[in-house]
Amino acid sequence: MQVRGPQFGSVVAHRGLMALGALALLVVQPKSALLEPPWAGAAKGAKAKDGLVAETLVLSDQARRYLLLQYRSYPTEFMGCMVGEIRGRSVVVLRIAPADVDPTQSARTHVMPKQSCEEAGWAGTVGVIHSHPSGQQCWYHFPGTQVLASDGQSFLWQPYPVDAIMCGDRVVWISRDMAERELTLVAAEASYTVSTRER
């Protein structure tokens, strides 16, 4: 068998140039020609729920217990569907339902559902929550920047008004204004502290 190095290198270089050319075309497209995330239409009057800028996230006792138990039980990331309702500028989570996740798609640094919360039968979903088992890197923007981390980028493509990350005794969450907020779970009584996190 004879390997032809120069021709192979030429094919790789050609394909690389084609990919760079396609990327350059995408970069110079006007903003209107680029894809918008599904919730973007809400600002233009599509679904009020999707474009909601939530100021508070309220977790019921059941939701709080579920999160604490799940967090302590699994060394890998878990994902849940936050089922609840919108009350003014508050998103009230009445319960956390398990997302449809194949065990092979859950690791210490990522989790991937098989289908959406609605397809899994959870009507009334207002957001998705997943955990960071190490309790680290619980942010939507890289610290000190406005650059979205992978969790922030994923949120852009979700149809829900909020998204959250469980990190030990606290929940970091985000709404459509893309501001990170933090909710501290107090294990004692059902008291919660909500604060806007400084970046």
Instruction: Please report whether residue 69 resides in a domain.
Output: yes
On whether residue 79 sits in a domain, the answer given is yes
78 shares a domain with 22 = no
Count up the domains in the chain and report the number.
2
Domain that holds residue 52: 48-196
Q: How many other C-beta atoms can be found within 10 angstroms of the C-beta atom of residue 145?
A: 10
- Asked whether residue 43 is domain-assigned, the answer is no
For the stretch 63-112, pLDDT in tens is 999 898 888 887 878 888 999 999 999 999 999 998 887 777 676 767 77
Residues 27 and 59 in one domain: no
Q: What is the CATH number of the domain that holds 177?
A: 3.40.140.10
pLDDT tens for residues 139-161? 999 999 999 999 999 999 999 99
Same domain (yes/no): 152, 69: yes
pLDDT score at 103: 72
